[in-house]
A and B are shown apart, each in its own frame.
Chain A
Amino acid sequence: NAGVTQTPKFQVLKTGQSMTLQCAQDMNHEYMSWYRQDPGMGLRLIHYSVGAGITDQGEVPNGYNVSRSTTEDFPLRLLSAAPSQTSVYFCASSYGVEAFFGQGTRLTVV
């Protein structure tokens, strides 16, 4: 079992560029979510999905899109990157109430 796999691990973008952060899990979990981690603010929920075809907004959704076409994959899209989106992004999947996190993607927007 690989668990939750995120790619890439590091990324530098220019302001205005778009990109997709990938997240895949092999545990057949229904619930998946994306968080961003910023110093002193803990992790904040961006978007989440309770199953294939169902997504919803979290606490800080602006500037991000998600889709869930399969149970395994939950990509996060940055439509037009801004410096305020410089952060570490974590994908998580869960069955029941325990969440399992990926290794994170460190994104810098210049």
Chain B
Amino acid sequence: AQSVSQHNHHVILSEAASLELGCNYSYGGTVNLFWYVQYPGQHLQLLLKYFSGDPLVKGIKGFEAEFIKSKFSFNLRKPSVQWSDTAEYFCAVNNREAAGNKLTFGGGTRVLVKP
């Protein structure tokens, strides 16, 4: 069974600081990778996704993520955060060979950006 781990449960930083959230997955096959964001009181929204090709993917709101296959990692980055980036971030993996679209999520990282 595949699993996803996110290294930090909580991150606190100041505006303009750089953000990097770690995500590692365990699955030997071909995967699709996602980062979702959940703003306070809202549903999950897709930040970015990786299916194939360039391992550095750019998403919305200045976020990017890098897929490193040898490390089974898909870390999320943003060079300069804003107060509005306060949210919970979830890494998710989908097994490309399996039927359907079952996503396996990491435990989430709560990010608090201080103004």
* A42 pairs with B43, CB closer than 8 A: no
Interface size on A, residues (CB 8 A): 24
Interface size of B as a range: 20 to 34
B contact residues around A42 at 8 Å (CB): 4, 6, 90, 105-108
CA distance in complex: A43, B90 (Å): 9
* A97 pairs with B42, CB closer than 8 A: no
Q: Indicate whether A40 sits within 8 Å of B101 (C-beta atoms), given known contacts A98-B46, A98-B49.
A: no
CA distance in complex: A96, B103 (Å): 12
Tell yes or no: B7 within 8 A of A by CB.
no
What is the count of residue pairs linking A and B with beta-carbon distances less than 8 angstroms?
Answer: 57
Q: Mark A28-51, 1 if CB is under 8 A from B, else 0.
A: 000101010000111111001010
Q: Indicate whether A104 sits within 8 Å of B43 (C-beta atoms), given known contacts A48-B102, A97-B32.
A: yes
Identify the interface centre among B44, B51, B105, B108: most chain A CB within 10 Å of its CB.
Answer: B44
B contact residues around A99 at 8 Å (CB): 46, 101, 103
What 6 A-B pairs have minimum CB-CB distances, sorted nearest first? A42-B105, A43-B105, A101-B44, A101-B43, A94-B101, A42-B107
Interface residues of B (CB under 8 A from A): 4, 6, 9, 32, 36, 42-46, 49, 51, 90, 92, 94, 96, 99-108
